[in-house]
Amino acid sequence: MGDAIVITSGKGGVGKTTTTANLGTALALLEKKVCLIDTDIGLRNLDVVMGLENRIIYDIVDVVQKRCKLKQALIKDKRFDCLYLLPAAQTSDKSEITPEGMIEIIAELKQEYDYILIDCPAGIEQGYKNAVAGADKAIVVVTPEKSSVRDADRIIGLLEKEDVEPPHLIVNRIRNHMVKNGDMLDVDEIIQILSIELLGIVADDDEVIKASNHGEPVAFQPNTRASLAYRNIARRILGESVPLMSLDDDKGMFTKVKKFFGIRS
């Protein structure tokens, strides 16, 4: 039985889709069977970031509406045989998917895959509800801005009401010089407010954007900082305890990460 993890944030544009694509890639590198689900109906992105847009025939709405079998809608990744994508619909409406429909799809995928990563749309409405419906675990993505932290806090509060384990946090787009100048929240401040466990930190890195634009997640590259950050997070998801990479020489706070999600049986 696999694990279904929803990747959410409340606020838009903080890196949910980027995180989903990269963690999927990094887990596939570790030879796990992974299926990514894009639940951002009407604004699908994950296929583009994965470079799989040209392969889409059926999408998740087709599956929910029983216009095709789940297997027919799954797209195999270009680079890995163990990585699949269930794309969102571009033309339909959110209301065509229901939490029940999601639960059914995820239950079926869990039979076959080790990890199901669910890319959640921004906001706290129907799209969010669909995305969390079938999830066992949750990752909250936050950027070091007050508004992003505020929305993450709101989402964490809402997740408490769902049937998911306490969420874990990824702080994305940290810019060291801004943190140093006090123009950006530092990771410590964010954790202090959100009071959830830190899963990893990803620096703001042009390579992320470049790679996304080439349809090849940055985690596929062997040696960029962002790539290493995603690979480390993937190992933590597997239950390894990987120390946080320091973003520079200051190792001050990087002791807080605990083992993520425990050891899988």
Partner 1 sequence: MITIKGTRDGLTLYIDDTCSFESVIIELEQVLSTKYVDKDEPMITVTIHLGNRYIHKEQEEELREIIRNKKKLVVHSIESNVILKKEALQWKEDSEIKAITRIVRSGQVVEVNGDLLLIGDVNPGGKIVASGNIFVLGSLRGIAHAGVNGNRNAVITASYMKPSQLRIADYISRSPDYESEGVYMECGLIDENKSKIVIDRLQVLSQKRPDLNGFERRILNG
Ligand X SMILES: Nc1ncnc2c1ncn2[C@@H]1O[C@H](COP(=O)(O)OP(=O)(O)OP(=O)(O)O)[C@@H](O)[C@H]1O
| Contact residues for partner 1, defined by CB under 8 A | 146, 149-151, 153-154, 156-158, 192-195
Dist. CA 32–CA 228, nearest whole Å: 17
Distance CA 171, CA 106 (A): 27
Q: Which of 18, 39, 130, 232 binds ligand X (CB under 6 A)?
A: 18
Whether 252 and 235 have beta carbons less than 8 Å apart is answered as: no
Q: Which of residues 35-54 bind ligand X (CB under 6 A)?
A: 40, 45
Instruction: Write the secondary structure of the chain as one string of H (helix), E (strand) and C (coil).
Output: CCEEEEEECCCCCCCHHHHHHHHHHHHHHCCCCEEEEECCCCCCCHHHHHCCHHHCCCCHHHHHCCCCCHHHHCEECCCCCCEEEECCCCCCCHHHCCHHHHHHHHHHHHHHCCEEEEECCCCCCHHHHHHHHCCCEEEEEECCCHHHHHHHHHHHHHHHCCCCCCCEEEEEEECHHHHHCCCCCCHHHHHHHHCCEEEEEEECCHHHHHHHHCCCCHHHCCCCHHHHHHHHHHHHHCCCCCCCCCCCCCCCCCCCCCCCCCCCC
Considering only residues 106 to 145 of the shown chain, the ones binding ligand X according to CB under 6 A are 121-122
Neighbours of 242 (CB within 10 A): 16
CB closer to ligand X, 50 vs 116: 50
Minimal distance in Å, beta carbon 4 to Mg ion?
Answer: 18
Q: For residue 208, state whether it binds ligand X (rule: CB under 6 A).
A: yes
Strand partners for 248: none
CB closer to Mg ion, 120 vs 233: 120
Shortest CB 27 distance to Mg ion, Å: 19
Q: Least separation, in Å, of the C-beta of 202 and Mg ion?
A: 15
Given ligand X, partner 1, Mg ion, none, residue 151, with its beta carbon under 5 to 8 Å by kind, binds partner 1
- Asked if 200 is part of the footprint of ligand X (rule: CB under 6 A), the reply reads no
- Tell me whether residue 15 or residue 24 sits nearer to ligand X (CB atom): 15
Nearer to Mg ion, 20 or 232 (CB): 20
Q: How far is the CB of 45 from ligand X (least distance, A)?
A: 6
- Told to check if 205 binds ligand X by CB under 6 A, we report yes
Comparison of 17 and 25: residue with beta carbon closer to Mg ion: 17
Q: Which of 102, 109, 198, 202 binds ligand X (CB under 6 A)?
A: 202
Q: Which does 157 bind (CB under 5 to 8 A by kind): Mg ion, partner 1, ligand X, none?
A: partner 1
Tell whether residue 22 is a contact of ligand X (CB under 6 A). Answer: no
The correct pick among 17, 143, 224, 232 for binding Mg ion (CB under 5 A) is: 17
For tokens 């970031």, what's the residue? 49
* Binding residues vs ligand X (CB under 6 A): 9, 12-18, 40, 45, 121-122, 172-173, 202, 204-205, 208-209, 212, 226
